[in-house]
Chain A
């Protein structure tokens, strides 16, 4: 069974641009969560999608958005990029919403650098 796939692996953008990151969950998984990881802050929860609906959202500005498609693939978008958005963006999938206490399966992440 293929793992969680995130594309692209690396991305370099400039301030003010927008970016779209993609996540393909493990086959059969319907929940996808997104996290931002920085050295100082650790993993910060962005949002979770289940069956194309956003279940939860973390404390991030509206520039961060996401969506999930009928095949459970998910994308997140960051508009008007700022230097502080430079981070490793991780997505994780599981079969049920996180309230069901299942383990998360993570992708290797997209390393975003904003110049």
Chain B
């Protein structure tokens, strides 16, 4: 069956460090992958999209990689800040969009 796994349910890091979140999938051949941020009581907000033929995408302090051989995406937040504390969701897209369960990131001052 198809699975999307975000390896860590929760991740705690110190302010200024780089946060790295992992998204692995099985029995999928997504055409693209997206990352979203979700704050408590709110809907997810789009951050980045990367297509199957792209290796890496950057946006300000965010970087995402996509390895279709390993079936894995890594999401990095550099110079993390307490305001980055939230749940981060990966989503695989093809004919529809399916989400992982998310990783709750806490950045401590």
Contact = CB atoms under 8 A, between A and B. Distances in A.
Interface of A: 4, 33, 35, 41-45, 48, 55-56, 58, 90, 92, 98-99, 101, 103-109
A67 B98 CA distance: 20
Where chain B touches its partner, the secondary structure class is strand
Given A43-B99, A55-B95, 7 more contacts: A33-B96, A42-B89, A98-B96, A99-B94, A101-B51, A103-B34, A104-B46
Given A99-B93, A101-B93, A42 B99 contact: yes
Contacts of B94: 99
A55 B49 contact: no
Task: Sort chain B's interface into a size bin.
Answer: 20 to 34
A46 to B, nearest CB: 10
Contact of B100 (A42, A55, A56): A42
